[in-house]
Structure 1
Amino acid sequence: MKVAVMGAGAIGCFYGGLLARAGAAVTLVGRAQHVDAVRERGLLVEMGGETHVVPVGATTSANGVAGAELVLFCVKSGDTEVVGAEMAPHLAHDATILSFQNGVDNAARLGAVLGRLVVPVAVYVATDMAGPGHVRHHGRGDLLIGPSARGAEILTLFAAAGISARVSEDAIGALWGKLVVNCAYNALSALTRMPYGRMIRQDGVEAVMRDVVAECRAVAAASGVALAPDILDAVLGLAAMMPDQFSSTAQDLRRGKPTEIDHLNGFVVRRGAELGVPTPANRVLLTLVKAAEKAKEG
Structure 2
Amino acid sequence: MKIAVMGAGAVGCYYGAMLARAGHEVVLIGRPQHVEAIERDGLRLQAQQFDERIDPSQLTASVDPAAASGAQLVLFCVKSPDTESAGAAIGPHLAADTLVLTLQNGVDNAERLRGVIAQEVAAAVVYVATEMAGPGHVLHHGRGELVIEPSTRSDALARTFAAAAIPTEVSANVRGALWAKLILNCAYNVLSAISQLPYGRLVASAGVRASIRDIVAECTAVAQADGVSLPPDLELAVRRIAETMPGQYSSTAQDVARGKPSEIDHLNGFVVKRGEALGVATPANRLLHTLVKLIEDKASGAI
The two structures have a TM-score, normalised by structure 1, of 0.97
- The residue number in structure 1 matching 2:10 is 10
Indicate if the aligned counterparts of 2:88 and 2:117 stay in contact, CA closer than 8 A. Answer: yes
Match of 1:200 among 200, 203, 210: 203
Do residues 28 (structure 1) and 28 (structure 2) align?
A: yes
Partner deviation per Cα, 1:263-293 (whole Å, 9 max, x = no partner): 0001100111111111000000000011111
- The residue number in structure 1 matching 2:217 is 214
Aligned-partner residue type, residue 208 of structure 2? V
Q: Matched residues in 1 for 2:287 and 2:270: separation?
A: 13
Q: Matched residues in 2 for 1:254 and 1:69: separation?
A: 36
**Which secondary structure does the structure 1 equivalent of 2:291 belong to?**
helix
Distance 1:2 1:237, change over 3 A: closer
Q: CA deviation at 1:118?
A: 1.1
Do residues 102 (structure 1) and 96 (structure 2) align?
A: no
Partner deviation per Cα, 1:121-147 (whole Å, 9 max, x = no partner): 001100000100110111000111101
Q: CA deviation at 1:64?
A: 1.4
Do residues 189 (structure 1) and 192 (structure 2) align?
A: yes
Q: Matched residues in 2 for 1:272 and 1:211: separation?
A: 15
Aligned-partner residue type, residue 108 of structure 1? E
- The residue number in structure 2 matching 1:88 is 91
Q: CA deviation at 1:230?
A: 3.6
Q: Matched residues in 2 for 1:142 and 1:243: separation?
A: 17
Q: Matched residues in 2 for 1:156 and 1:70: separation?
A: 14
Distance 1:22 1:237, change over 3 A: closer
Q: Runs of 4+ in structure 1 displaced over 2 angstroms?
A: none
Q: Matched residues in 2 for 1:159 and 1:232: separation?
A: 27
Do residues 179 (structure 1) and 182 (structure 2) align?
A: yes
- The residue number in structure 1 matching 2:71 is 68
- Matches of residues 147-186 of structure 1 in structure 2 within 5 Å? 147-186=150-189
Q: CA deviation at 1:253?
A: 0.6
Q: Matched residues in 2 for 1:17 and 1:117: separation?
A: 24
Aligned-partner residue type, residue 52 of structure 1? E
Q: Matched residues in 2 for 1:29 and 1:272: separation?
A: 36
Match of 2:226 among 223, 230, 242: 223
Q: CA deviation at 1:6?
A: 0.2
The two structures have a TM-score, normalised by structure 2, of 0.96
Indicate if the aligned counterparts of 2:194 and 2:292 stay in contact, CA closer than 8 A. Answer: yes
Instruction: Judge which range, 159-168 or 285-294, deviates more.
Output: 159-168
**Which secondary structure does the structure 2 equivalent of 1:113 belong to?**
coil
Aligned-partner residue type, residue 41 of structure 1? D
**Which secondary structure does the structure 2 equivalent of 1:99 belong to?**
strand
Partner deviation per Cα, 1:13-55 (whole Å, 9 max, x = no partner): 0000010111101000000000000000111111125321113
- The residue number in structure 2 matching 1:53 is 53
**Which secondary structure does the structure 2 equivalent of 1:114 belong to?**
coil
Instruction: Judge which range, 209-218 or 198-207, deviates more.
Output: 198-207
User: Mind listing any 5+ residue stretches in structure 1 that lack a counterpart?
Assistant: none
Question: Size of the alignment, in residue pairs?
Answer: 298
**Which secondary structure does the structure 1 equivalent of 2:120 belong to?**
coil
- The residue number in structure 2 matching 1:129 is 132
Aligned-partner residue type, residue 51 of structure 1? D
Q: Matched residues in 2 for 1:35 and 1:116: separation?
A: 26
Indicate if the aligned counterparts of 2:98 and 2:120 stay in contact, CA closer than 8 A. Answer: no
- The residue number in structure 1 matching 2:116 is 113
Indicate if the aligned counterparts of 2:158 and 2:168 stay in contact, CA closer than 8 A. Answer: yes
Q: Matched residues in 2 for 1:50 and 1:116: separation?
A: 36
Indicate if the aligned counterparts of 2:6 and 2:74 stay in contact, CA closer than 8 A. Answer: yes
Q: Matched residues in 1 for 2:259 and 2:184: separation?
A: 23
Q: CA deviation at 1:225?
A: 0.7
Instruction: Judge which range, 142-151 or 9-18, deviates more.
Output: 142-151
Q: Matched residues in 2 for 1:79 and 1:236: separation?
A: 30
Partner deviation per Cα, 1:196-226 (whole Å, 9 max, x = no partner): 1211122222221111101101100011012
Q: CA deviation at 1:69?
A: 0.3
Identity %: 57
Aligned-partner residue type, residue 126 of structure 1? A
Aligned-partner residue type, residue 29 of structure 2? V
Q: Matched residues in 2 for 1:234 and 1:158: separation?
A: 23
